[in-house]
Amino acid sequence: MNDQGRSTALFDAMAAEYDVLEPWYEHLYARLHAIVRVALAPAGARLGRALDAGCGHGFQTALLADLGWQTHGIDLAGALLTVARHRVRAAVFARADVVALPYADATFDVVSCCGSTLSFVANPEAALGEMARVLRPGGHLLLECEHRWSLDLVWMAASALGGDALGYGVPSAALGRAFRRPWRAAVRLPYPGYGTLTLFSTGDLRRRLRAHGLTPRRTWGIHALTNLIPSTVLHRERLSRPVAALYRALRVLDTAAAAGPLRAIANSVVILAVKR
C-alpha cells in the first residue's frame, strides 16, 4: 500500500470519532477557524466559488459555506466524505485526490487546504500546482500544514535520546537525517498514529507557492507556546488538572502570538497567498 492508500485507510478508520477533539485539536481548530473567517471572508456581495481541498469531515467546508461561498469539497477518505455530506448539505462533494483535482482551470475564487493535508500528500508539488491551476487570477489560497522548526521537534529529539520517554516513536537515526537536511528543506518524519508526515519550513513553502504563481500575503503560527507541552501529552482524551490549567494559559498566549515572530517555532504554519 502506498502513502496515499495508508492515509486514506487511516482517516476512514477515524471517521466515527473524528468529531471527538483531543486538547491538541481543540486549540488547533479554534485558531484555524478564526483565521479562515478573517482571511477568506468574501469581498463585497459577490458570491463566488470555494474549494475545500482535503475537506475531511467538513469542518472548514461548513465555515466556507457559512461565509457565503458556493462551496465544494474533495477528499480521498470516503467515510469522512459521508460525514461531511451530512454536516454541510449545501456543499458539493467529490471523492478525489488533491494532486488531480476534477475541475477546470480558474474555477474557484478561494481554495482552502487545511488539516495538514499537504503534509500527508506524497507529492506536495503536484498538489500545489493543481490548487494554483483551479484558482482564478486574484483568487486566494489558504494553506495549513506541519511546520519543521517547532518546539515539538525538540521534544521529539529529547524523547529519542531518553529511550522514547514521551512516546514519539521516532528513531534517532531518522531524526539525525532530518537535522542534517538544509535549513529550509522539508523533512519526512513518522508520528505516532499518523504515519509519515512532511514537515515544511516557512521559507520552503513560500518558495513553492511563488513557483506556482502564488504570492504569499500573510503568515500565522499555531501551537508555538502551547508546544511548551509535548504534543504527545496533548493528544489525549483528558489532561490532569495541573496540565490542563497550564494549557489554558498557554492557549491564551499562543493566540496572542499567532501572527508575531514566535510563529517561527509553531507546530502548524498557515499561509494566505494570492494568485498572480
Query: Which position has the grid cell 501529552?
Result: 233
Q: Is the pLDDT of residue 151 over 90?
A: yes
pLDDT score for 16: 62
Number of domain units in the chain: 1
pLDDT score for 145: 96
Domain with residue 64: its CATH number is: 3.40.50.150
Question: Higher-confidence residue: 17 or 106?
Answer: 106
pLDDT score for 9: 73
Q: Is the pLDDT of residue 60 over 60?
A: yes
Q: Quick one: what percent of the chain has pLDDT higher than 90?
A: 83
Task: In whole angstroms, give the CA distance from residue 63 to residue 69.
Answer: 9
Q: Is the pLDDT of residue 26 over 70?
A: yes
Task: In whole angstroms, give the CA distance from residue 177 to residue 267.
Answer: 19
Q: Is the pLDDT of residue 46 over 70?
A: no
Q: Is the pLDDT of residue 13 over 90?
A: no
pLDDT score for 5: 65
Q: Which residue in 122, 155, 116 sits closest to 268, CA to CA?
A: 116
pLDDT score for 24: 96
Task: In whole angstroms, give the CA distance from residue 83 to residue 79.
Answer: 7
Please, are residues 75 and 56 in contact by the beta-carbon 8 Å criterion?
Answer: yes
Segments forming the whole domain that contains residue 34: 3-275
Q: Quick one: what percent of the chain has pLDDT higher than 70?
A: 92
* Band of pLDDT at residue 12, cut at 50, 70 and 90: low
* Band of pLDDT at residue 75, cut at 50, 70 and 90: very high
Q: Which residue in 91, 114, 121, 148 sits closest to 29, CA to CA?
A: 114
First to last CA, the chain: 38
Please state, rounded to an integer, the average pLDDT across all residues of the chain.
93
Is the Cα torsion angle 89, 92, 96, 97 positive or negative in sign?
A: negative
